[in-house]
Amino acid sequence: MPKLQGRVVASGLGFPEGPIALPDGSVLFVEIAGRCLKRWLPSGDVKVVAELGGGPNGAAIGPDGHCYVCNNGGFSWRTDDGFTRPTGEASDYKGGSIQRVNLSTGKVEALYTHCDGVPLHGPNDIVFDSHGGFWFTDFGKKFADRLMLGALYYARTDGSFIRRAAFPLLTPNGVGLSPDERTLYVAETETSRLWSYPVIEPGQLQLQSFPSPNGGKLVAGLPGYQRFDSLAVEASGNICVATLVRGGISVFSPDGELIEFYEAPEGYCTNICFGGPSMRTAYITLSGYGQLFEAQWPRPGLRLVA
């Protein structure tokens, strides 16, 4: 089992997630526990871009150059021997949202908090398509005595349109598009299952009927106790899923074959993005110990639209 080969480029972070590799070599990321958006610079400096509140989770750059953030509304936390993990909802939890951040000014605005009158519970991960809209997962929300079901949504950046495209999902987390944008992938955390959906048009998916529990086609899953987090897609179409508990990146072919697994230095390996001139530099969030990790990837990642 190969291990991730690379280096920690930033540490002491407040449960980092949502990395975005920018053309200038810097990396945007959120701190869920720190409730902010930050930027790591190749010099090693880390700067606050915006204070977001709640629980900023996934993030992506939109066609307007702004950063769009899935805010889960906030978690409660437990730390043992320097290792931090979420345990439930924040004491000030009031619901989730999609936020838009002006990277030049740091201005933050809530773009969506509801869909057809129903509150967003815990937006988690986001991906833009070439039409200028974005897909995002709503994880649901974990409380002391219940777990709310999640969903998959599509929305536009001007605040004019949001649609629930698939429901219910059980803790949907990572989301990504195939290189031709004809297939949408969603990873569920607690089931450690990767699902796919044919994209008919922006905001509309081809849903399977029963016995599919969520309208998707099962692509792959892992045996034993594993948990899936966020994901990224390679230029070849392979799906790279951040995997909790075992701790690392599981790489699946579109047909569901587990091609390889790269072991991470800790169990809370939560997200991966690709950057660099050849798109072969992977930035991986190691959230439990608050680190951003840089590694050379064996194949180029898919260049995301913006």
* 199-204 average pLDDT score: 98
Query: What is the count of structural domains for the chain?
Result: 1
Asked if residue 250 belongs to a domain, the reply is no
Q: Which domain holds residue 140?
A: 14-225
Name residues whose C-beta falls within 8 Å of residue 257's C-beta, 6 or more positions apart in sequence: 220
Asked if residue 255 belongs to a domain, the reply is no
pLDDT digits 0-9 by tens, 138-151: 999 999 899 999 99
Q: At 88, which amino acid appears? A: G
pLDDT at 250 over 80: yes
Cβ atoms of residues 64 and 157 within 8 Å? yes
* 57-62 average pLDDT score: 98
* pLDDT band at residue 1 using 50, 70 and 90 as cut-offs: confident
pTM score of the predicted model:
0.98
Instruction: Specify the CATH number for the domain of residue 36.
Output: 2.120.10.30
* 171-176 average pLDDT score: 98
Name residues whose C-beta falls within 8 Å of residue 7's C-beta, 6 or more positions apart in sequence: 293, 294, 295
Name residues whose C-beta falls within 8 Å of residue 252's C-beta, 6 or more positions apart in sequence: 194, 219, 220, 238, 239, 241, 258, 259
Q: What is the predicted pLDDT for the residue at 306?
A: 72
* 15-28 average pLDDT score: 98
Q: At 38, which amino acid appears? A: K
Asked if residue 300 belongs to a domain, the reply is no
Asked if residue 207 belongs to a domain, the reply is yes
13/11 Cα distance (integer angstroms) = 5
And the tokens for 77? 């936390």
Which single residue is written with the structure tokens 């407040």? 14
Cβ atoms of residues 31 and 49 within 8 Å? no
pLDDT over 70 percentage in the chain: 100
* pLDDT band at residue 277 using 50, 70 and 90 as cut-offs: very high
